[in-house]
Amino acid sequence: MASPEFNLIEQFFTHATAQRDDVVLGIGDDAAIVNVPSGYSLAISVDTLISEVHFPKETPPQAIGYKSLAVNLSDMAGMGAKPVWATLALTLPNNDSLWLTEFSQGFSELAHQFGVQLIGGDTTQGSTLSITVQIFGLIKKDQGYLRSAAQVGDLIYVTGTLGDAGLALKHWQENLKPTTDESQFLRKQLDYPEPRVTEALALQGLVHAAIDISDGLVADLSHILDRSQVGATLHTDKLPLSLPFKSLVSKTDDLMLPLTAGDDYELILTIPQIHQNRVQQIMRSFECDLTCIGAIEKQLSLRCLDGNKKIINIKQHGFDHFNET
């Protein structure tokens, strides 16, 4: 007789995602077997989400399923890799089939959207809900977007808008319910971030360095600067902000969110100036905006300028500049 664990896997995961020709053996054996096409390298990344650490307890299971894959797809986007396979390690406090139904809906919806097949995993019981997703992606040989590849003169671009997820999280922590269209938009940005995989792949051959924004623009751009041994100037008046963000940002403190808050899962891309027009042309076919916010420079470290080209001091808890106004 099949064990409850086996039934659970069969019911919720075996057929839940895309079915790919390059999977020789998927869920059901001691290990999965896959074929990596010649001329490609494998990009591998893993992320764990723990209840109360990475998401509030009351997060809808569908959003948890979606986000646990989305954050991994975003890592693939940051590498310029095409995500193809995933594994899923779940630790569950109990065998709650309603929770699992909704979780697997969120997970599989996104997996189908990006043609990713779930090829294996592990299911265990434990006191704290924890989800680990490992993602596998394909990169054409030597075409990856490395953090170390930014060059002096590159323009710095970001996809989408910044600060939405950070403001939603703040509202959540302040116990503000998302009752208006604007606050619901922000909450959706937090729970259902859109991984920029397609956009990243469309720009192949035009990008030097890239990273996805999980810890905040300044922190993540600094990783590129450190690894590439370069500096940069950012024009903070150019930061792309959504209309809901602008309408709901109330405290001056919140104005630092687009620079310092995480969870947006947008991309930072450094692109040589000669590709500027081509990049803008390609991005016209996407709904997602791509905004130039600065440039890579020889002088080390990061300089953030306001609209009057005055340097803003970014402190952990806010901008001096914004606190003055």
Q: Which pairs with CB-CB distance under 8 Å and at least 24 residues apart come from 314-323?
A: 314/218, 314/256, 314/259, 314/260, 317/253, 318/252, 318/253, 318/255, 318/256, 319/255, 319/256, 319/259, 322/252, 322/253, 322/255, 322/256, 323/252, 323/253
107 near 64, Cβ under 8 Å?
no
Count CA atoms closer than 13 A to 9's CA, side-chain side: 21
> What CA–CA distances, in Å, run from 36 to 33, 80, 141, 190, 220?
10, 17, 12, 34, 30
User: Closest approach of Cβ 39 to ligand ADP, in Å?
Assistant: 28
In this structure, which amino acid lies at residue 257?
A: L
10 binds Mg ion (CB under 5 A): no
Of the candidate residues 122, 226, 237, 320, the single one contacting ligand ADP (CB under 6 A): 122
* Binding region for Mg ion (CB under 5 A) out of 115-123, 137-145, 183-191, 192-200: 115-123
Q: Which is nearer to Mg ion, 52 or 122 (CB)?
A: 122
Binds 262: which of Mg ion, ligand ADP, none (CB < 5-8 Å by kind): none
45 binds ligand ADP (CB under 6 A): no
122 binds Mg ion (CB under 5 A): yes
245 near 251, Cβ under 8 Å?
no
Q: Which is nearer to ligand ADP, 5 or 237 (CB)?
A: 5
Binds 30: which of ligand ADP, Mg ion, none (CB < 5-8 Å by kind): ligand ADP
Helix H segments across 157-242?
Answer: 164-173, 181-191, 197-202, 217-228
* Binding region for Mg ion (CB under 5 A) out of 117-125, 196-204, 254-262, 287-295: 117-125
13 binds ligand ADP (CB under 6 A): yes
In this structure, which amino acid lies at residue 207?
A: V
Subset of residues 24 to 43 that bind ligand ADP, contact rule: CB under 6 A: 27-30
22 binds Mg ion (CB under 5 A): no
Q: Say how many C-beta atoms besides its own lie within 10 A of residue 4's C-beta.
A: 10
Tell which residue, 123, 131, 108, has the closest CA to residue 52. Answer: 131
* Binding region for ligand ADP (CB under 6 A) out of 44-52, 118-126, 190-198, 268-276: 118-126
Binds 163: which of ligand ADP, Mg ion, none (CB < 5-8 Å by kind): none
109 near 167, Cβ under 8 Å?
no
5 binds Mg ion (CB under 5 A): no
* Binding region for Mg ion (CB under 5 A) out of 120-128, 165-173, 233-241, 294-302: 120-128
Tell which residue, 320, 207, 188, 198, has the closest CA to residue 263. Answer: 188
Q: Which is nearer to Mg ion, 134 or 159 (CB)?
A: 134
Residue nearest to Mg ion (CB): 122
Q: Which residues bind Mg ion (CB under 5 A)?
A: 122
Q: Which residues bind ligand ADP (CB under 6 A)?
A: 5, 9, 13, 27-30, 88, 90, 118, 120-123
